[in-house]
Homo-oligomer: A and B are copies of this chain.
Amino acid sequence: MITFNEIGIIRSPHKEREGAPIQPAGAVEFEGRVEVLPEFQEGLSDLDGFERIILLYHFHLSEGYSLMAKPFLDDTKRGLFSTRAPKRPNQIGISIVRLLGIEENIIHVKGIDIVDKTPLIDIKPYVPKFDAFPDSRAGWFDAGTRSTESTRADKRFTV
């Protein structure tokens, strides 16, 4: 068993999972903030030079999972690990958001697809050399017919 402790909380305009954007790509206009616990504030030094940050967080509203799941963007059941569905064996989420600015222990961000009051696990800087592979083949996503920008979460992973 691996145990982590919340290092902060993510605040966003999405008060519940249903109706929320399903990825930052569908949430470009939404602003939110990451409230890091004051004891970790010093660790935010130098972060303001980055245009984007990687947020790792706990899908705290998710319980249970199915190894084959119908994603929001498709009508076919897919292997769970080929999806970004929140109901997973370990309920960990990852979102890359745009950094607007930092005030003390508060990080202002844009492009947030995360539900309000989600527990924060870690923050990492987004480094294109490590993280950007724009031409990478993306399986069923490439063939998908539904748009990430307009698709919103429904009840499938919340009931």
Binding site for B on A (CB under 8 A): 1-7, 23-25, 40, 42-54, 56, 58, 67-68, 78-84, 88-90, 92, 94, 96, 119, 121-142, 148
Contact = CB atoms under 8 A, between A and B. Distances in A.
A90 B46 contact: no
A127 B45 CA distance: 29
A134 B136 contact: no
Query: So how many copies of this chain end up in the complex?
Result: 2
A57 to B, nearest CB: 10
Contacts of A45: 68, 78-79, 82
- Output the residue of A43, A48, A81, A137 with the most chain B CB within 10 A: A81
Contacts of A67: 40, 42-43
B138 A127 contact: yes
- Output the residue of A45, A48, A82, A83 with the most chain B CB within 10 A: A82
